[in-house]
């Protein structure tokens, strides 16, 4: 049952400031009628009036945007709220995930955005288990920690997303909250604390993917490629289930992609137009009954479904039936390769050196 704030406490007005932390992650995007659970007392700041209230008991309460007014329990604000837990070990529950950072509840176009604000190292505790299994060798997890930390700080530097730094999904990095902590992940994060990758003294986007299929390549959407993202041999991902794949594309999905990209006619076939030296397709020629057009293989893959067409490392094309190697865009670190290297006795520095050649580890 949803609890009304006034039943939870009788609001107590406080004069205080919310402590701002290092990373802002969008954990709920443009949703309405959200149920948020607090496991313990918390404070809520009205961003319109700057008044701070103390909620004496945890519970479940509704958040919604009604005609431009953000509602939390029986409080309303045009600008939104900031929620801060009052007890160590407490958490906010949202969509089956648990968060222990500060929550910003802000108006969005069609509802509400919820942003978690937390310390960088704590954020990584909620990234690693979902980007790379906590059961994997700790040296692979350490490599992932350095890559994820670097990617995060580069995103913060560039500040491209307005009032938050990262999405909580594959548009940035998978993140499901840092309340649940695995020992192996904690070890990896603590062992590499403050370590980032640089090239010529500058942080860069340390892209990574599931399986390279035997060789990494330049990140497909970058116009200019730096040495650490130019590609390298792997050889450590062959034993993974994601090393090879087969798929049949949905004809309607392909046709919709063509229409969206203003490619005239009905789909007939595709063929590889240009390849990277590794053999991965760089561009494809799409052939219809009216035209031929060369397009980015990565754009086509995303358009028809990246979980169906798992990579552009194509080994066979037969109409809509495809076969290939690897899983993901193929740039940066091969995660299955990192696992394979760790199982082979390599340490995280060896892993990072292979997948980001010419990069250096620096302490921030």
The residue from 85, 118, 151 where one domain ends is 118
pTM for the full predicted model: 0.91
CA gap 283, 275 in Å, rounded: 7
CA gap 178, 152 in Å, rounded: 15
The residue from 118, 145, 176 where one domain ends is 118
Name the residue range of residue 299's domain. Answer: 241-325
Do residues 73 and 55 both lie within one domain?
A: yes
The residue from 118, 137, 169 where one domain ends is 118
pLDDT truncated to tens, each residue of the chain (364 aa)? 344 444 333 333 333 333 334 899 999 999 999 999 999 999 999 999 999 999 988 899 899 999 889 999 889 999 999 999 999 999 999 999 999 999 999 999 999 999 999 999 999 999 999 999 999 999 999 999 999 999 999 999 998 898 999 999 999 999 999 999 999 999 999 999 999 999 999 999 999 999 999 999 999 999 889 999 999 999 999 999 999 999 999 999 999 999 999 999 999 999 999 999 999 999 999 999 999 999 999 999 999 999 999 999 999 999 999 999 999 999 999 999 999 999 999 999 999 999 999 999 999 8
Do residues 146 and 287 both lie within one domain?
A: no
**For 253-288, how does the pLDDT look when each residue is reduced to its tens digit (9 = 90+)?**
999 999 999 999 999 999 999 999 999 999 999 999
Do residues 265 and 218 both lie within one domain?
A: no
Domains contained in the chain, number: 3
Report the relative pairing of strands 97-99 and 75-77 from DSSP bridges: unpaired
CA gap 188, 56 in Å, rounded: 37
H or E segment to which residue 317 belongs: strand 313-318
Do residues 336 and 223 both lie within one domain?
A: yes
**For 169-189, how does the pLDDT look when each residue is reduced to its tens digit (9 = 90+)?**
999 999 999 999 999 999 999
Closest CA to 214 of 246, 242, 185: 242
Helix (H, G, I), strand (E, B) or coil at 279: coil
**Cβ(61)–Cβ(41) below 8 Å:** no
Per-position DSSP letters for 91-117, written without gaps between them: -EEETTEEE-SEEEEEE-SSSEEEEEE
Do residues 280 and 190 both lie within one domain?
A: no
Do residues 128 and 231 both lie within one domain?
A: yes
Do residues 16 and 113 both lie within one domain?
A: yes
Do residues 345 and 218 both lie within one domain?
A: yes
**Cβ(143)–Cβ(333) below 8 Å:** yes
Do residues 221 and 96 both lie within one domain?
A: no
**pLDDT score, position 281:** 98
**pLDDT score, position 22:** 84
Do residues 27 and 55 both lie within one domain?
A: yes
| Radius of gyration of the chain measured on its C-alpha atoms | 23
Burial label for 152, CB within 10 Å (0-12, 13-18, 19+), is buried
**Cβ(209)–Cβ(332) below 8 Å:** yes
**pLDDT score, position 9:** 38
Do residues 356 and 228 both lie within one domain?
A: yes
Do residues 96 and 228 both lie within one domain?
A: no
**Cβ(155)–Cβ(179) below 8 Å:** no
Alpha helices, H only, the chain: 5-8, 120-125, 128-131, 138-158, 183-191, 251-260, 297-304, 335-343, 348-355
Helices 297-304, 251-260: inter-axial angle, 10-degree rounding: 120
CB neighbour burial string for 309-340, b if at least 16 within 10 angstroms, e if fewer: bbbbbbeebeebebebbbbbbbbbbbbbbbbb
């Amino acid at each position: 049952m949803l609890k009304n704030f006034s039943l939870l406490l009788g609001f107590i007005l406080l004069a205080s400031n919310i402590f701002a932390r290092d990373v802002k992650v969008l954990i709920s995007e443009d949703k309405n009628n959200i149920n948020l659970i607090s496991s313990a007392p918390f404070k809520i700041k009205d961003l319109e009036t700057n008044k701070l209230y103390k909620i004496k008991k945890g519970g479940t309460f509704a958040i919604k945007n009604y005609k431009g007014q953000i509602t939390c329990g029986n409080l309303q604000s045009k600008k939104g709220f900031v929620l801060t837990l009052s007890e160590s070990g407490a958490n906010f529950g949202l969509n089956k995930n648990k968060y222990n950072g500060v929550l910003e509840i802000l108006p969005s176009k069609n509802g509400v955005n919820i942003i978690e604000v937390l310390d960088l190292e704590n954020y990584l505790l909620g990234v690693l288990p979902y980007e790379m299994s906590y059961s994997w060798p700790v040296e692979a997890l350490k490599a992932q920690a350095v890559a994820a930390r670097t990617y995060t700080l580069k995103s913060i530097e560039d500040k491209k997303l307005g009032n938050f730094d990262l999405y909580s999904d594959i548009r940035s990095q998978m993140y499901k909250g840092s309340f649940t902590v695995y020992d192996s992940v904690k070890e990896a994060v603590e062992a590499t604390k403050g370590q980032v990758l640089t090239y010529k003294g500058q942080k860069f986007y340390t892209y990574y993917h599931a399986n390279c299929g035997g060789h990494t390549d330049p990140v497909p959407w970058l116009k200019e490629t730096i040495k650490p993202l130019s590609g390298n041999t792997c050889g450590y991902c062959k034993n993974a289930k994601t090393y090879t794949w087969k798929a049949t594309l949905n004809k309607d999905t392909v046709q919709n992609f063509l229409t969206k990209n203003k490619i005239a006619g009905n789909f007939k076939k595709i063929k590889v137009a240009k390849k990277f030296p590794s053999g991965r397709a760089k561009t494809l020629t799409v052939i219809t009954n009216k035209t031929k057009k060369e397009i980015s293989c990565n754009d086509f893959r995303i358009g028809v479904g990246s979980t169906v067409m798992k990579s552009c490392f194509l080994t066979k094309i037969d109409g809509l039936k495809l076969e290939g190697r690897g899983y993901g865009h193929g740039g940066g670190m091969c995660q299955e390769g990192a696992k394979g290297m760790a199982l082979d006795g390599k340490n995280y520095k060896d892993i990072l050196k292979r997948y980001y050649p010419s990069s250096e580890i620096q302490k921030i």
